[in-house]
Amino acid sequence: MTTTENPTNAPAPEIGRDRRRKEDRRLITGRTRWTDNQAITGLLHLSIVRSPFAHAEIQGIDTSAAKQVPGVVGVYTAADIGADAVQLPCAWPITKDMKAPQRPALAGSRVNFAGEGVAVVVARSAAIAKDAAELVEVDYAELEPVLDMEDALKDGATLVHPEIGTNANAQWVFDSGEAGSGGSVAEALSAAEKDDDQVVIHRRFRQQRLVPVFMEPRSTVVDPTGEQLVMWSSTQVPHILKTMLALTLGLPENKLRVIAPDVGGGFGGKIAVAPEEVVTLLVARKLGKPVKWTETRSESLLTAHHGRDQIQDLTIAVTKDGIIKGLDVKLLADMGAYLGLVGPGVPILGAFMFNAIYKIPAYRFDCTNVFTTKTLTDAYRGAGRPEATFGIERMMDEVAVELGIEPMELRRKNWIKHEEFPYTTVSTLTYDTGNYEAATDQALQMFDYDGLRREQQERRQRGDVKQLGIGISTFTEMCGLAPSRVLGSLDYGAGGWETASIRMLPTGKAEVVVGVSPHGQGHETAFSQIVADKLGIAFEDVEILHGDTQSSYRGLDTYGSRSLAVGGIAMVKAAEKVIEKAKPIAAHMLEASEDDLEFTGGKFTVKGTDKGVGIADVALAVFAAHDYPEGIEPDIDAHATFDPENFSFPHGTHLCAVEVDTETGFVHLHKYVCVDDVGTVINPLIVEGQVHGGLAQGIAQALFEEAPYDESGTLLSGTLVDYTLPSAADLISFDTANTATPSTTNPLGVKGVGEAGTIASTPAVVNAVLDAVRQYGVKDIDMPTTPFRVWTAINSAKGTAGRGDEADVASPGAGLGSTASDISKGDTQGGHL
Amino acid sequence: MARIRTTVDGLVYEDDVEPRMLLVQYLRERLGKTGTVIGCDTSNCGACTVHLDGLSVKSCSVLAVQANGSEVLTVEGLERDGQLHPVQQAFHDNHALQCGYCTPGMIMQSIDLLGDNPDPSEHEVREGIEGNLCRCTGYQNIVRAVQDAAQKMKPGAHASTSSSAAQPVAGGGA
């Protein structure tokens, strides 16, 4: 083989390097561009008057006192600015007969959740606007709140939206028997009930309501004074927002520009066309002046969309030696008062994930979305997949307990073996690659699983106040949303492609315009590494441009762990096009045939010679354009759109040990190990950081966070005093590692990492908590497993357990020591809180 | 309106402010010091942490008038001659930030912590920054960064970059 490659000049590969982030310098020195930082001369400030009632008729609004406040420019009800006629968009009509009630930007005649906006005040300062908002008098006639999903579906229930005649939004069903991807669950369950060698186990799990709690409160500034109306917004989805504003408000899209400047976290919570964004726009247009709205944290907790909130009924048929024969899943999913941008589809994403990493021959998923008079729910980190993973991984431990099988052994018996990939699941997805054995073996070793099991036994035997519990979660997720055709088949309102453009500057630097939109992920760093490698230019010479529809006109933004697995591939494709366009020009410059050229390390060289030109030389040559081949354009810039052929399927094994103080119910994280396979790693530092943050959020669901409502429909966690985010003192250092089976459906082999930690960790922690206290007769504890709940569960179970019902701590389930013998459908859950 | 005179990041300012104006509002809205941010309204998150006369305070819990006659240091005033403060550098080196919204407050609190305890254990770091919330990092790399900075700031270096005498301010404890 002839080669002219000069190894001494070849730059070290960027992909795989733990580059420190380009983004950091501005962020650690305070030179930031948060939306609320915007200060435009003449800027007005908007404050929203919100309903204190969950469900009420608006009988009148008196704005006269507010209008008298010096500095107030205007006070508007919904009708004054046409906000009651707006239909905020839902992009995911999951069924043909889905009920989609109108969601106005401000309530006109009826409010449907506490916190819904009913009027706005615009003033020269935010403080004046807030003061004046206090003076707006709204006359409400209270209606019955609708709070419980099961009650809401009963005949005669109060209706959130009487005009649609039901509180059911939609019912979505997948049945593997009907789909031809597996057997009939009904048959599998009835066969199991007649078979002495099988058992049927039913469990009900509750996915509590959570709040994403991005650290930067939402903010929007609209400047209508230019030819294009400009909206700065703290959003994950500037492109979708622009198109949806055009469609929703009937504005010409060419007259809109949306900018997502620095965005301080999102976690799904900023995937929205928010009523406040629309109202700010309407007011700015009405006044012809720039207007800013920035929420308080309390407003954010009350009105920015929530996540999760499901009742899960799982029924599993399994042989007594632990082979799963069928899984039936029935969900109720709380939509809240209205449908968010993708809200109804969130639980449906879980439909493909309840079967998880297991070979399940028959599967049925039946989800009913329900309206209540609560804040609406929509995407929160993982979106449907954490709920599904929790359901199946909790169920695997329940099966292990019932059958007396070691819980990891049970999983091994059922998961897809590494040699069985690619594997088409019972829910019709084809997993391209994975190796559950490798990740698990490494995790068990890092965790010292056997050692901790021994310690657990010792503590039990000596009756230690602090009991050890060990929890497992072996998970997979579908990432890289998404193949457009698949989204089409699910009735989603858009595609799942992503776009990138590369602009080669005359000095050899590159600007890469991307359609994904970061809010903390480190895109500028990771994407620079990819493009630097592909074009053979320096990491520092790549500039990633994003988040402004004027520079990046085409994109579908950031969510669903798609930025790398879809957006990153668009960059690779664009770089390949740059090289293809540069090749004839390089050949011309080298007076060689294109066929004799090869491109390595940023340089075109003539095979068998030391003659070569760099990509920077070509960029300069087409800038001058004095001498280039006939018949081609003097331009090597390129644009590419990538539509994935499949999702990607990261997976991993998460192991958690907790200490439960049996006197106080306090749960202390003792050890957490996870080994994640996210495919090829572009930047290990960023991957590790994503896992850490994801773990913190998933653990927080298990132990700390909940957004409960009282009987009148008032949110009880309306401040950060009550919605208890973990602090540094509440968490421990995690032991993380990676295995890698590169994805075969994209050229980088990447899979996505943004959601892994959150999806996997919640069941690992809850399984651990239960593992510590099952010995007392506790069967379940609702999340979050607060000290009060754990203490109550222990004490009520101890109080009810018969003396002959002691735990079998020596069973093969080791720490799982089951007390249950009710291996039957519909068992009652003693000790359930 | 009340007249106040403060030194912020080394510059002297005189302004008339509403008595109810919070220090963080004064910094952001009047001085354009938008490096300091607001994350909540109940003094839980710590995103607005600055130093007041050498001690960390949540600037949402201090009135601007309380800063009269005082010296305020924000994240924007940490660099010296283009050199990052060791804690800023450690946050970068250890990937201790993602979205960066909590970062100014987290850095200011960490500097204060290292002033009190130049060689904190992991546990002491976690306790020392528990008044500052981060939603992105899970805190692990923040803890690493603070301990890394502590090592870099040895020997004998004091963490505080404020030149003024440390005087506790009523109501300003973070």
Q: Is A31 on the interface with B (CB under 8 A)?
A: yes
Paired sense of beta strands B2-8 and B71-73, if any:
parallel
**Contact at 8 Å (CB) between B17 and B2?**
yes
Which residue in chain A has the smallest CA separation from B87?
A28
Which residue in chain A has the smallest CA separation from B37?
A216
pLDDT class of B155 with cuts at 50, 70, 90: confident
Answer whether residue A19 is part of any domain: no
- In chain A, which residues have their Cβ closer than 8 Å to the Cβ of B104? 30
Radius of gyration of chain A (CA): 28
Q: Is A728 on the interface with B (CB under 8 A)?
A: yes
Q: Is B100 on the interface with A (CB under 8 A)?
A: yes
pTM: 0.94
Q: How many structural domains are present in chain A?
A: 3
Which H or E element spans position A123? strand A117-123
- Please choose, from the candidates A331, A290, A447, A407, the residue with its C-alpha nearest in 3D space to the C-alpha of residue A94: A331
Q: Is residue A506 predicted with pLDDT exceeding 60?
A: yes
pLDDT score recorded for residue A676: 98
- Same domain for B93 and B142, yes or no, is yes
pLDDT score recorded for residue A828: 35
Q: Average pLDDT, stretch A399-415?
A: 98
Q: Average pLDDT, stretch A387-406?
A: 98
Q: Average pLDDT, stretch B8-23?
A: 98
CA angle A406, A410, A416 (to 5 degrees): 150
Answer whether residue A114 is part of any domain: yes
What mean pLDDT, rounded, does chain A reach? 94
- Same domain for A80 and A44, yes or no, is yes
User: What's the gap in Å between the CA of B66 and the closest CA on chain A?
Assistant: 19
Final residue in a domain of this structure, among A285, A303, A321: A303
Q: Average pLDDT, stretch A509-514?
A: 98
- Same domain for A513 and A600, yes or no, is yes
Q: Average pLDDT, stretch B37-54?
A: 98
Query: Where does A405-522 have alpha helices with state H?
Result: 407-414, 436-447, 449-461, 484-489
Cβ–Cβ below 8 Å for B133 and A21: no
pLDDT score recorded for residue A130: 98
pLDDT class of B162 with cuts at 50, 70, 90: very low
What's CA A80's distance to the chain center, in Å? 37
- Same domain for B106 and B144, yes or no, is yes
Answer whether residue B165 is part of any domain: no
Q: Which of A18, A27, A701, A720 to mutate to test the interface with B (most CBs of B within 10 A)?
A: A27
pLDDT score recorded for residue A10: 61
What's CA A591's distance to the chain center, in Å? 52
- Same domain for A622 and A654, yes or no, is no
- Same domain for A792 and A683, yes or no, is yes
Cβ–Cβ below 8 Å for A725 and B125: no
Do you find a cis peptide bond into A482, omega within 30 degrees of 0? Answer: yes
Q: Is residue A820 predicted with pLDDT exceeding 90?
A: no
Residue A50 burial (C-beta neighbours within 10 Å; 0-12, 13-18, 19+): buried
Tokens, residue B81: 């001659």
- In chain B, which residues have their Cβ closer than 8 Å to the Cβ of A28? 75, 84, 88, 91-92, 97, 100, 103, 107
Cβ–Cβ below 8 Å for B37 and A298: no
Q: Is B121 on the interface with A (CB under 8 A)?
A: no
Cβ–Cβ below 8 Å for A216 and B131: no
Q: Is residue B173 predicted with pLDDT exceeding 70?
A: no
Which residues span the domain enclosing A625?
Answer: 24-32+497-642
Answer whether residue A338 is part of any domain: no
- B-facing residues of A in 292-311 (CB < 8 A) are 296-298
Answer whether residue A486 is part of any domain: no
Which residue in chain B has the smallest CA separation from A690?
B137
Query: Where does B2-60 have alpha helices with state H?
Result: 23-25
pLDDT score recorded for residue B156: 55
pLDDT score recorded for residue A547: 96
CATH of the domain at B14: 3.10.20.30
Q: Average pLDDT, stretch B147-153?
A: 97
Answer whether residue B146 is part of any domain: yes
pLDDT score recorded for residue A11: 67
Which residue shows structure tokens 């928010």?
A274
Q: Considering chain A, what percentage of its residues have pLDDT values greater than 70?
A: 95
- Same domain for A572 and A622, yes or no, is yes
Answer whether residue B39 is part of any domain: yes
Q: Average pLDDT, stretch A195-206?
A: 98
- Same domain for A581 and A462, yes or no, is no
Q: How many structural domains are present in chain B?
A: 2
- In chain B, which residues have their Cβ closer than 8 Å to the Cβ of A264? 37, 99-101
User: What's the gap in Å between the CA of A91 and the closest CA on chain B?
Assistant: 27
Answer whether residue A417 is part of any domain: no
Answer whether residue A367 is part of any domain: no
Q: Average pLDDT, stretch A663-676?
A: 98
- Same domain for A436 and A555, yes or no, is no
Q: Is residue A143 predicted with pLDDT exceeding 70?
A: yes
pLDDT class of A798 with cuts at 50, 70, 90: confident
Cβ–Cβ below 8 Å for A31 and B76: yes
- Same domain for B102 and B51, yes or no, is no
Final residue in a domain of this structure, among B60, B77, B94: B77
Which residues span the domain enclosing B118?
Answer: 86-152
Final residue in a domain of this structure, among B45, B77, B109: B77
- Same domain for A656 and A759, yes or no, is yes
Q: Is residue A204 predicted with pLDDT exceeding 60?
A: yes
pLDDT class of A444 with cuts at 50, 70, 90: very high
Answer whether residue A831 is part of any domain: no
pLDDT score recorded for residue A12: 85
- Same domain for B108 and B68, yes or no, is no
pLDDT score recorded for residue A177: 98
What mean pLDDT, rounded, does chain B reach? 91
Q: Is residue A460 predicted with pLDDT exceeding 90?
A: yes
CATH of the domain at B126: 1.10.150.120
CA angle A473, A474, A478 (to 5 degrees): 115
Q: For A529-582, how does the pLDDT look when each residue is reduced to its tens digit (9 = 90+)? A: 999 999 999 999 999 999 999 999 999 999 999 999 999 999 999 999 999 999
ipTM of the complex: 0.94
Answer whether residue B10 is part of any domain: yes
- Same domain for B99 and B70, yes or no, is no
- Please choose, from the candidates A325, A389, A322, the residue with its C-alpha nearest in 3D space to the C-alpha of residue A694: A389
Answer whether residue A61 is part of any domain: yes
DSSP class per residue in A515-566: S---SSS-HHHHHHHHHHHHHT--GGGEEEE-SBTTT--S---S-TT-IIII
- Please choose, from the candidates B167, B162, B169, B164, the residue with its C-alpha nearest in 3D space to the C-alpha of residue B65: B169
**Contact at 8 Å (CB) between A298 and A718?**
yes
Q: For A742-752, how does the pLDDT look when each residue is reduced to its tens digit (9 = 90+)? A: 999 999 999 99
pLDDT class of A284 with cuts at 50, 70, 90: very high
